[in-house]
Chains A and B, each alone.
Chain A
Amino acid sequence: NAGVMQNPRHLVRRRGQEARLRCSPMKGHSHVYWYRQLPEEGLKFMVYLQKENIIDESGMPKERFSAEFPKEGPSILRIQQVVRGDSAAYFCASSTWRRDSYYEQYFGPGTRLTVT
């Protein structure tokens, strides 16, 4: 059973370009979460999606960031007009429905975004 997959693993963008990060959840998982890890910090929640729905985007910057999880295909985190402060590792996690009173999340390997 393949785990959560993210690509690319490394992404370099110049300031002002767009970054697209992809996440394929584990088989059978319909809930996807994105977290951001800034240098020397822990992971911080950005957004929670189910198929075709954004459930909670309270952790996502209001501008330039968007996320989607279409009916078919991977979840996409999109960052427009990237700035140096967007340089970070972006992790995706997935889960099934609520089980054992919490959402057990499985993490992908992350995408390291570097903005030059």
Chain B
Amino acid sequence: AQTVTQSQPEMSVQEAETVTLSCTYDTSENNYYLFWYKQPPSRQMILVIRQEAYKQQNATENRFSVNFQKAAKSFSLKISDSQLGDTAMYFCAFTSGTYKYIFGTGTRLKVLA
């Protein structure tokens, strides 16, 4: 069975500092896609960043970047220059190319002023 694990229920970071959220997954597929979603208090699911497993280069979107370690099945999210607006739940998600997205249980991130 395919699973996604986020082992950090809560994290906090000082404004302007850097924080890394962890995610591991389990699959026997060779080609798949990984995502990080942000869920602010409004509960809207916002796609932060996407990584295709066949690409070796780590994805980057402005202050957000990932460290994708395919052999270790690890997919961590780094947020640089943290801002108060980054306070939210962050979900790691996986799909092997079917329509089912599998989500982790989330990490609650609080950015402190």
Contact = CB atoms under 8 A, between A and B. Distances in A.
A22 interface: no
Contact of A48 (B95, B99, B103): B99
Contacts of A101: 31, 33, 97
B105 A45 contact: no
Interface stretch (B14-22, B37-45, B65-73): B37-45
Interface in A33-80: 33, 35, 40-45, 48, 55-56, 59
Nearest to B32: A102
Contacts, number: 57
A44 B105 CA distance: 10
A102 B99 CA distance: 7
Interface in B61-104: 91, 93, 95, 97-104
A11 B93 CA distance: 27
Contacts of B102: 45
Chain B, interface SS category? loop
Contact of A103 (B4, B44, B99, B103): B99
A103 B95 contact: yes
Chain A, interface SS category? strand
Nearest to A40: B105
29 contacts: A31-B99, A33-B99, A35-B101, A40-B105, A41-B105, A41-B106, A42-B93, A42-B104, A43-B91, A43-B93, A43-B101, A45-B100, A45-B101, A55-B99, A56-B99, A56-B100, A89-B43, A91-B45, A95-B99, A101-B31, A102-B95, A103-B98, A103-B99, A105-B99, A109-B42, A109-B44, A110-B44, A110-B45, A112-B43
